[in-house]
C-alpha cells in the first residue's frame, strides 16, 4: 500500500501543491507578493523553504500557480451570468475577506514596473470588461440610462466592484459593500422597462 492513504503518487503531489498555493494565498494577503517570503509559505505547510522550491522552482512560479487558481475560480459561466448573480458574487466575497485581500494587494502591486502579475491583470481586465458588457447587454439590452452602452458601462461596473473592495477591506464596519453594489446596479436599472 502506498503511504498510509489511498492516494497515488501523482495525486499526493498535486494535493501538496494545492496546499502550498493555499498557504501562499494567505501569506500574500498578509504581506503582499513582495513581502511574502518563501520561508513563511513553507512554514505554513510544514516544509523548509528549500522543500517548497522542490514543488515550485521559483517564487514567480508559485505566483503563477496562485493566479491560475484564481482563473479557475472565477471562470464560471461568463455570458450566462446575470446581474443578480453578480450581486451574489459580491455578497459571497464579503464573507471571504482573505481572498479579496490577496488579490487587492496583488492588483495594487501589479501597477508597479516589471511586476510579474502585471500582464495577468491587464489581460484579465480586458476579458472581464468584455464579459461584463455581455452581461449588461443580456440584462438591459441597450436601454441603459443616458444613452450609455454596455461597452461603456462595463468599466464602471468593474471599477465599482474593485473600488468598493478597498474601502471595505480598510474599514468593513463603515462600508456595506454588497449594499453599495446593489445601489449601483439600481442606478443602471432605472431607465429600464
Query: At how many degrees (to 10) do helices 59-73 and 97-110 cross?
Result: 120
The runs of H, that is alpha helices, within 2-149 are: 9-35, 38-44, 49-55, 59-73, 83-93, 97-110, 118-140
When binding is defined by CB under 7 A, the residue of 21, 23, 24, 36 that contacts DNA is 36
Looking only at residues 43 through 72 of this chain, which bind DNA when binding is defined by CB under 7 A?
Answer: 46-51, 53-55, 57-60
Nearer to DNA, 57 or 147 (CB): 57
Q: Which does residue 40 touch among DNA, a second copy, none (CB within 5 to 8 A, set by kind)?
A: DNA
Grid cell of 149 as nine digits = 452602452
Residue 112 lies near DNA (rule: CB under 7 A): no
Cβ pair 136, 152 in contact under 8 A: no
Question: For residues 12 and 82, which CB has a smaller minimum distance to DNA in the complex?
Answer: 12
Say how far apart CA 54 and CA 84 lie, in whole Å: 44
CB-CB contact of 90 with 167 (8 Å): no
CA distance 2 to 147: 65
Site string for DNA, 4-33 (x = CB under 7 A): ----xx--xx--x-----------------
Query: In this complex, which beta carbon is closest to DNA, that of residue 53 or of residue 83?
Result: 53
Residues that bind DNA (CB under 7 A): 1-3, 8-9, 12-13, 16, 36-40, 42, 46-51, 53-55, 57-60
Amino acid at each position: 500500500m502506498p503511504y498510509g492513504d489511498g492516494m497515488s503518487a501523482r495525486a499526493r503531489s498535486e494535493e501538496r501543491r494545492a496546499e502550498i498555493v493555499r498557504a501562499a494565498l494567505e501569506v500574500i494577503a498578509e504581506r503582499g507578493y513582495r513581502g511574502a517570503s518563501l520561508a513563511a509559505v513553507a512554514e505554513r505547510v510544514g516544509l523548509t523553504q528549500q522543500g517548497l522550491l522542490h514543488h515550485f522552482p521559483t517564487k514567480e512560479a508559485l505566483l503563477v500557480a496562485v493566479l491560475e487558481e484564481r482563473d479557475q475560480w472565477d471562470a464560471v459561466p461568463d455570458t450566462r451570468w446575470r446581474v443578480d448573480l453578480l450581486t451574489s458574487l459580491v455578497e459571497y466575497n464579503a464573507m471571504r475577506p482573505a481572498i479579496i485581500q490577496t488579490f487587492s494587494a496583488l492588483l495594487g502591486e501589479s501597477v508597479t514596473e516589471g511586476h510579474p502579475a502585471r500582464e495577468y491583470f491587464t489581460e484579465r481586465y480586458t476579458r472581464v470588461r468584455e464579459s461584463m458588457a455581455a452581461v449588461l447587454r443580456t440584462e438591459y439590452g441597450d436601454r441603459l440610462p443616458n444613452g450609455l452602452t454596455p461597452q461603456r458601462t462595463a468599466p464602471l461596473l468593474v471599477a465599482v466592484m474593485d473600488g468598493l473592495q478597498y474601502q471595505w477591506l480598510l474599514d468593513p464596519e463603515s462600508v456595506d459593500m454588497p449594499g453599495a453594489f446593489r445601489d449601483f446596479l439600481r442606478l443602471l436599472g432605472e431607465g429600464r422597462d
